[in-house]
Amino acid sequence: MAEASVRAPQPDSKSDRLESWKEIAAYLNRDVTTVQRWEKREGMPVHRHQHDRMGSVFAFRSELDSWWQSRKLRVSLPESGDPILAAPPKAKPLRPILAVALLVVVAGLAVWFQEREVFWRNPIANARFQVLTDFDGVAQAAAISRDGQFVAFLSDRDGQMDVWVTQLGSGQFHNLTRGRVPELVNPSIRTLGFSPDSSLVTFWSRKSDSSSDISIWAVPTLGGEPRPYLEGAAEFDWSGDGSLLVYHTPGPGDPTFVSEGARHTADKPIFTAPQGLHSHFPFFSPDNKFVYFVHGALPDKLDIWRIHSNGGTPERITSQNAAITFPVLLGRKTLAYLATNPDASGPWIYALDLNRGNPHRLTFGPERYTSLSASADGRRLVATIANPKRSLWRLQLDESSTPNAAASPISLTTTSGFSPRLGAGFLLYVSSNADRTSIWKLANNNAAEIWSGQGEIIGGPALSRDGQWIAFSIMQKGQPSLQVIQNDGTNARVVTSSLNLQGELAWAPDGQSIVSAVNDQGTPHIFRIPIDGSSPQVLVREYSLDPVWSPDGSYLLYSGPDIGTTFEVKAISSSGSAMASPTLKLTRGARRLVFLPRGRKLLFLRGDISHKSLWLLDLEKGTERQLTNFDPKFDIHDFDVSADGTQIVVERLQSQSDVVLMNLQ
């Protein structure tokens, strides 16, 4: 992507300039009080002394009015797109200073209006919201048909995740797959859709842990047997007139193709991302000229790009470098999508005018938006809104542990807890609310907050081997920093704020440095970062994430790039040479690895994208053993093991979400 253009799309000069002149002319004919009311309504700062800022306009007001009438000024738009002043045959000479003043004022106002985006309108400001589902459990990945009549979504209402559909206004819901499809969930792509005529509901499916078993299937909207729709494809979109099809496969770099007609012929490759990067959510512009897509590193280094439907150099549309998903067009100029904030909170609905390019956050509050879809006319939106609940649970670990072993909840003084880390006689965990993130220490049933600040912790805290120091990286206003504190909350300091940190941290065996992935020109590499502030050194030169040291410090395990929905675990010696690694190919979202303190045994997560269990791998014998088997509505998101290897604490995530319909005015 190094050759890709990074310029924003340019506006249509004629139409946009004409509208700007009309708005400015209307603005000039308002008095100060009206201006103040108008600015307040538009969410702009209201100045107490408008005449100080606009004095030159109102000082000449009467003279300008007289001149305007006498000269019969009119604004025209010639082929060049520049406004001109046309004078009547018998016009009197205009004083040069007045003409200059008028031009300066109008030009200044044009810039002032542009900077404050006076012409921006929130597309969902007056929308009517309607909750479509009120089920216990999950309703996610909602999609609306092009005609705006049907909504499909995933739900575990009948126990297993299935494809459901409802016709708007009917109040009825139908399970289309009825447990016949093993894996349907993939929040990184648009998993559900409709055929252009709405007769079929399409869905993403993976039959096994292999990316080669990914395909698009379809089931009749009114019910019937599922059947293949686009074999070997992961996502797709039809052009508005049905003449073109864009799709990408799950191979490395998500190779993207455009083909002609319903027969799926003349496939033309238009883009393939570099290793480790992804290109998801492709869709056509209304004129079929461009294909828009989300591109970058999963899960949260993404932006929206577009490329000509015949191929060429991609053009970057947004510059947020966030967790961006589910882009849709509302008309021809408004792009809506889901994105996280610079502090990694969210995601919420964002939108931007393609002519001006500045993103605007449209939704606020504690709700997290997890999918977005629009009808072809842009008048109806469906979204899924989630309210996930996180809790910590304790398990005993011994040779007799079975998947059905009892787990006990850990009582916390905070509303929620996540990213557990076990020390000798204490438990660390992270908690967050609307504007602050905290690290807590639980010991002898007493909890104490040992660190608090704005932002969101990347990965989780890392304990030094002696349990005395805690390292963590935190994203604050879009800038990550690496910090360390003692386990009682004292001696907090910043190690570095100049590195683009990513994923989990790990203390080096010597306790004098920390290893972490650093995003270097779009690709993460593991670096050794000394805590004394000296220069970091690259440790792994290939794509690498989430390091974990072996108990004896002789080698390091790390995660390779996602290919499709899986990644491989690799190993490197402490001296930096490659070495044989355990044969582990895991599903996206299962990057957390933890060694038991004694022996060569490794804890890891295995399962579907939305539901994973904890497993134990004996590296010497090559055997695996499942340790947990929670209800499918629960997913293990993080975990840790005690220093003596007898206890495990897991972060259990329970999702609760509903489908919401927005009728736009």
pLDDT of residue 26: 45
Q: Is the pLDDT of residue 69 over 60?
A: no
Contact indicator for 652, 403 with CB cutoff of 8 Å:
no
* Residues with Cβ within 8 Å of residue 229, at least 6 apart in sequence: 200, 202, 215, 216, 217, 218
For 380-415, give one letter per residue: b (16+ CB within 10 A) or e.
bbbbbbbebebbbbbbebeeebeeeeebeebebeee
CA torsion angle 373 348 358 476 (round to 10): -150
State the Cα angle at 222 between 265 and 206, rounded to 5°. 55
Name the nearest CA neighbour of 306 among 332, 325, 324, 283: 283
pLDDT in tens, 551-593: 999 999 999 998 888 899 999 998 888 888 778 999 988 999 9
pLDDT in tens, 319-359: 999 999 999 999 889 999 999 987 778 899 999 999 888 89
39: alpha, beta or left? (left if phi > 0; alpha if psi -120 to 50): alpha
Name the nearest CA neighbour of 247 among 282, 216, 276: 282
Burial class of residue 322 in the structure, from the number of CB atoms within 10 Å of its CB (0-12 exposed, 13-18 middle, 19+ buried): buried
Q: Is the pLDDT of residue 431 over 50?
A: yes
pLDDT of residue 574: 87
What are the structure tokens assigned to 550, written together?
């072996």
Q: Over range 204-222, report the average pLDDT.
A: 84
Task: State how far Cα 344 lies from the chain centre.
Answer: 9
Please report how the helices 96-116 and 13-28 are oriented relative to each other, as an axis angle in degrees rounded to 10.
Answer: 110
Structural Rg of the chain based on CA atoms: 29
CA–CA separation, 618 and 553 (whole Å): 18
Q: Is the pLDDT of residue 306 over 60?
A: yes
What are the structure tokens assigned to 517, written together?
């992935």
What is the three-class DSSP state of 15? helix
Contact indicator for 268, 490 with CB cutoff of 8 Å:
no
Q: Is the pLDDT of residue 630 over 50?
A: yes
CA–CA separation, 479 and 341 (whole Å): 12
pLDDT of residue 286: 93
Using 50, 70 and 90 to split pLDDT, how confident is the model at 389?
Answer: confident
Residue spans of beta strands (DSSP E) within 185-343 = 192-194, 200-206, 214-220, 227-230, 235-238, 244-248, 256-260, 265-271, 278-284, 290-297, 301-308, 315-316, 325-330, 334-339
CA–CA separation, 269 and 262 (whole Å): 17
What are the structure tokens assigned to 427, written together?
């438990």
Q: Is the pLDDT of residue 83 over 50?
A: no
pLDDT of residue 556: 94
pLDDT in tens, 449-492: 999 988 888 889 999 999 999 999 998 877 889 999 999 999 99
Bridge partners of residue 540, in order along the sequence: 526
pTM here is 0.75
Q: Is the pLDDT of residue 25 over 80?
A: no
